[in-house]
A and B are shown apart, each in its own frame.
Chain A
């Protein structure tokens, strides 16, 4: 399970959000769908910036300070301020924002559970082999 796992998670969540938009517009309404979509996009950007921040700071060759500072400045003041303003939009229900935000986490957890169930990670195979040996 490498860093490509996270990129696949972002793509799956974005695809789910795109699929959800027409369904949400039909069944929920414009602002509710927009709130869930905004929450989802915010969640993807949040984890994307965590990933980029970790990648630029934890490297064998040494940290890329300028990139790390740039990502930290985008994530912590800018993205969190955007989240605050989303919560303050009177048409948006915070519950809908939360549902959108949780979508990425749900996709992530389900993907990890799927990998564990299917035994796709080498470490799982190694553990099984070790258990058989012992």
Chain B
């Protein structure tokens, strides 16, 4: 299989995997935050902040994968 065909196959797979990983990570993070807020409602502000920071970092990884997709997609065909 030539380089461009492999790239055309691997790029969408990579973005898809990044999206799946990010989705699983966000799901776990938000689920755990909900449990923590349920246990300690008075600490909801701190938990929300930590969750937002985590969500932003997790989401950033998918955006990085998407940007790499855009950078490398110019080399296909």
A residues neighboring B (CB under 8 Å): 1-3, 5-6, 46-47, 50-51, 54-55, 58, 60, 83, 87, 94-95, 97-98, 101-102, 104-105, 108-109, 112, 123
Contact = CB atoms under 8 A, between A and B. Distances in A.
Contacts of A104: 56
B60 A101 contact: yes
Interface string B53-69: 10111011001100100
A120 B33 CA distance: 22
Given A54-B52, A94-B71, A97-B67, A1 B41 contact: no
A102 B60 contact: yes
A98 B64 contact: yes
Given A87-B67, A98-B67, A3 B45 contact: yes
Contacts, number: 57
Nearest to A52: B52
Interface of A (DSSP majority class): helix
B63 A47 contact: no
Contacts of A50: 52, 55-56, 59
Given A58-B37, A60-B44, A105-B60, A47 B67 contact: no
Given A50-B55, A95-B71, A55 B64 contact: no
A104 B63 CA distance: 14
A54 B44 CA distance: 11
Contacts of A3: 45, 48-49
Nearest to B34: A58
Contact of A1 (B46, B55, B67): B46
A108 B54 CA distance: 10
